[in-house]
Amino acid sequence: MASSRRSRHKPGEPTAPDMPIVPMLDMSFQLMSFFILTFHPMPSEAQIALALPKLEGGGDSVPMVSVEVEVEDVVIQIFAADNGNVVSIKSASKNGDVDLGSDTSKLFKFLQDKATAAKGGDATKKAPKLKFEIAERLNYQIVVKLLDEGRRAGYDRISPTLLGPGGGAKK
């Protein structure tokens, strides 16, 4: 009868704990792929000096290089009455402020003219950035209308900010 006899288990050699390496490798490759895919290097801010070849038959003439000039952002300040309606619209620029009254149709025409002038007849150029500095009390319906008119006028980079208590933009 086997049940009456009990066999005793003799302790053997101690075994080292099993260290699974595959999950650690898997996690390291996942981390590496994450950092590679999310890495965005900064564009080069320095100029690179190049030795350009001379033009054949042109003597010592210098090749023409086109330089793109950054256009000044268009800043529009919208002031509001206590009831949320537009009191006045101004264009603030380095050359001086332009009062556009309180009519948004004048603003649309002004924005169209500015976008066309900035593009200089080149349809591939982008319009400058449009900044709306908006009074806190301005009705949201009017804010949406202003953003829509900026889009229709040809601006694809529009940033609305709040006017500070003194009339300037809040930082």
Long-range contacts of 105-109 (CB under 8 A, 24+ apart): 107/76, 107/146, 107/149, 108/149, 108/152, 108/153
User: Which domains, and CATH codes, for the chain?
Assistant: 74-162 (3.30.420)
* Beta-strand pair 74-80/86-92: antiparallel
- pLDDT of 44 reads 59
Q: Are the C-beta atoms of 87 and 79 separated by less than 8 Å? A: yes
- pLDDT of 171 reads 45
Q: What HEC string does 55-113 produce?
A: CCCCCCCCCCCCCCCCCCCEEEEEEECCCCCEEEEEEECCCCCEECCCCHHHHHHHHHH
Q: What is the dihedral of CA 88, 151, 105, 87, to 10 degrees?
A: -10
pLDDT tens for each residue of the chain, 171 residues long: 555 566 677 788 888 888 889 999 999 999 999 999 988 776 655 556 667 677 666 555 555 555 555 567 888 888 888 888 888 888 887 777 888 888 888 888 888 888 888 777 666 677 778 888 888 888 888 888 888 888 888 888 888 888 876 554 444
Give pTM, 2 decimals: 0.53
Of 5, 145, 3, give the one whose Cα is nearest residue 76.
145
CA dist., res. 58 & res. 60, Å (int): 6
Of 99, 71, 97, give the one whose Cα is nearest residue 155.
71
Sign of the Cα pseudo-torsion (93, 97, 100, 102, in order): positive
- pLDDT of 121 reads 66
Q: Both tokens of residue 17?
A: 């704990």
Q: Are the C-beta atoms of 49 and 65 separated by less than 8 Å? A: no
- pLDDT of 59 reads 55
